[in-house]
């Protein structure tokens, strides 16, 4: 076995150990119940950021098709857990939220109709990229489209499928990025795809504009890209079929009898999901939810909201208002 691989595995193990230690420290020492899960999620996101960097380091060993299958397989069972807890682009937008709060700048709220339209547009964007290889083959049928190797590498006609993996690209990459600072290679999700399909000259300008708009938008509007990200188009269609009512297994559950309609869950949601507030009770089935658990963390009523894996409760709302008073 290559010593570099062994070294990277040891680094990942050490990083995972530090992540676990950080989570344990937060659970023990952090007394404010309204921010404890948020801090735990930031630790998990940071560890995932480094882990994904190493996955891309071995892209020649781990085919991109397998990464794509893993993401969608995870989505079927765990919903948008990847979006809320693992996505590198999501981490950057969460750090922007912390910076905005530190500067005491209020975030902007999108109109509900516009927000819902953006969420629904995810499926149109995803469908476009799924059908694009078929369109390219129809325009140039002389090329051989069916190639297991090309499919595994998401190359040739299959390259449009790689757009779904773009949110996974960390800002620090193990290849020559679009910007090199010292010996550090920097990149940005979708920027490389823009320059590839549009062309180096115009594409570079559009890529810079895209980076600026998304970062600026993410600063003023919480998790703005997540509202129409094609990677987040998860089980919104699948779980409507009779045999897939169980999907996703990881979900938020609401106790209608304990809910007072205070509206906290609606106000704190980073992507403005209203279903937790509006639904009478039971399993929250909307695919808009990223399972970040912010609504559960902030709900001030005991056991009203729960994060559940199947029938097992992993985390539930607590009366953190009384906890603060007692301290």
Q: Which of 101, 127, 144 is the last residue of a domain?
A: 101
Residue 259 inside a domain? The answer is yes
* Residues of the chain above pLDDT 90, percent: 33
322 pLDDT above the threshold of 70: no
313 pLDDT above the threshold of 80: yes
Mean of pLDDT over the chain: 83
Residue 49 inside a domain? The answer is yes
Predicted local confidence at residue 222, as pLDDT: 94
- For residues 27 and 33, give the distance between their C-alpha atoms in angstroms, rounded to a whole number: 9
Q: What is the CATH number of the domain that holds 294?
A: 3.30.70
Q: Which of 67, 101, 135 is the last residue of a domain?
A: 101
Structure confidence at residue 307 as a pLDDT band (50, 70, 90) = very high
209 pLDDT above the threshold of 80: yes
Predicted local confidence at residue 258, as pLDDT: 93
Predicted local confidence at residue 104, as pLDDT: 94
Predicted local confidence at residue 306, as pLDDT: 95
Residue 282 inside a domain? The answer is yes
Boundaries of domain holding 287: 249-326
Predicted local confidence at residue 299, as pLDDT: 93
Predicted local confidence at residue 146, as pLDDT: 64
Predicted local confidence at residue 184, as pLDDT: 80
Q: Which is higher by pLDDT, 286 or 6? A: 286
Predicted local confidence at residue 238, as pLDDT: 65
Name the packing angle between helices 36-57 and 3-29 (round to 10°).
180
Across 60-74, 90-104, 264-278, 293-307, least confident range: 60-74
Q: List, in order, residues 6 or more apart from 221 with CB less than 8 Å away.
A: 107, 108, 110
221 pLDDT above the threshold of 80: yes
Residue 270 inside a domain? The answer is yes
Structure confidence at residue 241 as a pLDDT band (50, 70, 90) = low
Residue 162 inside a domain? The answer is no
DSSP 291: -
Angle at 133 between CA 129 and CA 135, to 5 degrees: 100
Predicted local confidence at residue 325, as pLDDT: 46
Residue 121 inside a domain? The answer is no
Burial per residue of 56-91, b for 16 or more beta-carbon CB atoms within 10 angstroms, e otherwise: bbeeeeebbbebbeebeebbbebbbbbbbbbbbbbb
Phi, psi of 227 (to 5 degrees): -75, -25
Residues 88, 48: contact at Cβ < 8 Å? yes
231 pLDDT above the threshold of 90: no
243 pLDDT above the threshold of 70: no
Predicted local confidence at residue 105, as pLDDT: 94
Across 9-23, 57-71, 110-124, 158-172, least confident range: 57-71
Of the candidates 165, 316, 186, 180, which has an alpha carbon nearest to the alpha carbon of residue 252?
Answer: 316
- For residues 60 and 309, give the distance between their C-alpha atoms in angstroms, rounded to a whole number: 34
Residues 87, 80: contact at Cβ < 8 Å? no
DSSP 154: T
pLDDT in tens, 49-62: 888 887 777 766 67
Q: Which of 73, 101, 129 is the last residue of a domain?
A: 101
Maximum Cα–Cα distance across the chain: 74
3-state secondary structure of 241: coil
Structure confidence at residue 327 as a pLDDT band (50, 70, 90) = very low
Predicted local confidence at residue 68, as pLDDT: 82
Residue 30 inside a domain? The answer is yes
Cis bond upstream, residue 248 (ω within 30): yes
Residue 188 inside a domain? The answer is no
pLDDT in tens, 35-46: 888 999 999 999
Across 34-38, 267-271, 318-322, least confident range: 318-322
Predicted local confidence at residue 73, as pLDDT: 80
> What's the domain count of the chain?
2
Dump the DSSP string for 31-50.
Answer: --TTTHHHHHHHHHHHHHHH
Angle at 80 between CA 241 and CA 58, to 5 degrees: 115
Burial of 226 by CB count in 10 Å (0-12 exposed, 13-18 middle, 19+ buried)? buried
Name the packing angle between helices 200-220 and 88-102 (round to 10°).
50
Q: List, in order, residues 6 or more apart from 91 with CB less than 8 Å away.
A: 42, 45, 46, 48, 49
Mean pLDDT of 111-134: 86
Secondary structure percentages of the chain, helix, strand, coil, to 5: 60, 5, 30
Quick count: other Cβ atoms within 10 Å of Cβ 147? 14
- For residues 25 and 91, give the distance between their C-alpha atoms in angstroms, rounded to a whole number: 21
pLDDT in tens, 65-93: 888 888 878 888 888 898 999 999 999 99
């Amino acid at each position: 076995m290559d010593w570099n691989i062994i070294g990277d595995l040891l680094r990942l193990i050490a990083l995972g150990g530090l992540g676990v230690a950080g989570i344990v420290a937060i659970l023990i020492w952090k007394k404010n119940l309204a921010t404890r899960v948020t801090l735990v999620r930031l630790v998990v996101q940071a560890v995932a950021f480094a882990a994904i960097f190493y996955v891309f380091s071995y892209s020649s060993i781990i085919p991109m098709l397998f990464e794509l299958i893993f993401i969608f397989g995870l989505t079927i069972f765990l919903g948008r857990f990847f979006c809320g807890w693992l996505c590198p682009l999501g981490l950057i937008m969460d750090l922007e939220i912390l910076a905005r709060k530190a500067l005491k700048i209020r975030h902007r709220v999108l109109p509900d109709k516009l927000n819902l339209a953006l969420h629904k547009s995810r499926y149109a964007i995803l469908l476009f990229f799924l059908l694009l290889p078929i369109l390219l083959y129809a325009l140039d049928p002389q090329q051989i489209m069916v190639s297991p190797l090309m499919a595994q590498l998401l190359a040739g006609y299959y390259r449009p499928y790689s757009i779904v993996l773009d949110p996974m690209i960390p800002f620090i990459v193990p290849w020559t990025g679009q910007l090199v600072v010292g010996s550090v290679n920097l990149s940005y999700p979708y920027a490389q795809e823009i320059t590839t399909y549009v062309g180096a000259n115009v594409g570079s300008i559009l890529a810079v504009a895209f980076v600026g708009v998304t970062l600026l938008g993410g600063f003023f509007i919480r998790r703005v890209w997540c509202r129409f990200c094609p990677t987040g188009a998860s089980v919104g269609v699948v779980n409507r079929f009779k045999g897939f009512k169980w999907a996703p297994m990881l979900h938020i559950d609401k106790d209608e009898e304990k809910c007072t309609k205070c509206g906290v869950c609606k106000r704190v949601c980073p992507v403005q999901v209203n279903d937790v507030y509006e639904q009478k009770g039971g399993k929250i089935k909307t695919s808009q939810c990223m399972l970040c658990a912010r609504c559960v963390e902030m709900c001030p009523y005991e056991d009203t909201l729960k994060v559940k894996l199947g029938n097992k409760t992993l985390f539930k709302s607590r009366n953190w208002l009384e906890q603060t008073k007692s301290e």
